[in-house]
Amino acid sequence: MRGSVYYQSSQLAKQIFEARAKKEDRINPNHEHFQKVASYKTMESYRSIWNNFFNYLKEHWGIKDFEKIESQHIQAYMDYKIEYYPSKQYLEKISAALGKLEIALKLFAKNIYNEDRNYDFSIRQTPLDEARDLKYVANNYHNRAYNNPKVLISNLQNSLHKLAASIQYEGGARIEGVALIKPEQLLGTQIDTITNTQKGIIFTKEKGGKEGEVLVSLDTYNELVAHFEKYKTFKINRQAYYEDIKQSALLSDETSEASHGLRWNFAKRRMLEYAKAGYSYAQSLQEVSYEMKHNRASITEHYLGG
């Protein structure tokens, strides 16, 4: 489908909106209004979430045709929203909107192309199930750190993916911080005063435009330097990266937590490093939060539970 975010969401909304459709018809699998949306207000709310999701896909995945949405995009977006402690009610609304998006895409394919397409966004249910009884998702969100992150990284099949995963594991970078890196983002080396070791510095711009330095091992930094001796940019395909991690997790006998799980490993390790350097628990929380490009110290506790 071509067109702006708002045009595409309007076309999909037409597939699923049926003003004043009766409830008994909307829950009847044999009725033409089955699973339709009857309320203007509800449809407006869903479409607003779709627009936000579509803008996210354009910015972070380079997807402009929203017929190409797959389950890993849904998972990545839920992770993206969860990181800032959404309320259970807000996450439920996002999940419901994405569920209706699945239906709208199926109807669009059926009505426009006379095709049955297998969209499956059921992955969105997992974080909801884990948060159903508590006010904040983070309070009941399971521990997503990998048991053996180094083994997971070593089992990745693509060398660029191994380097990206190392940066996330060692420096706590988000996926958007490693998906594209340019030579000018390498700022040399410095002593990490917390561990008293030499680290490489990568300047990244991540979620919400937040900028800052990511510290990685000299081995990882030098590998990135060597990459730029041959290539102008460091760039990975997110979908291929997610799939590589998924397959590596199977080999490592781990539950796949996508690349975000590596940030959990970073937070846990970095908290210990701050503690060994003499920082209080509260100070450690705040400093690790800053390093992960958050502001509130409480966000770091999200990564320590479970």
How many whole angstroms from its chain centre is CA 149? 18
Residues forming a β-bridge with 214:
202
Question: And the tokens for 199?
Answer: 């680290």
- 38/21 Cα distance (integer angstroms): 5
Contact 31, 69 (CB under 8 A): no
Which residues contact residue 290 at a Cβ distance below 8 angstroms, ignoring those fewer than 6 apart?
212
pLDDT in tens, 141-173: 456 789 999 999 999 999 999 999 999 999 999
The model's pLDDT over 196-216, given as tens digits with 9 standing for 90+, comes to: 999 999 998 876 557 889 999
Is pLDDT of 14 > 60? Answer: yes
| 216: enclosing H helix or E strand | strand 211-216
Confidence of residue 100 (pLDDT cuts 50, 70, 90): very high
Assign 229 a pLDDT band (cuts: 50, 70, 90).
Answer: very high
Q: What is the pLDDT of residues 279-299, one digit of tens each?
A: 998 888 888 888 887 755 555
Spell out the domain ranges in the chain. Answer: 5-140, 149-302
Amino acid 264: pLDDT:
86
What is the domain class of 149-302 according to CATH?
Answer: mainly alpha
Longest dimension (CA), the chain: 68
Q: What is the pLDDT of residue 269?
A: 92
Question: pTM (2 decimals)?
Answer: 0.63
What's the DSSP call for residue 17?
B
Per-residue pLDDT at 182 = 96
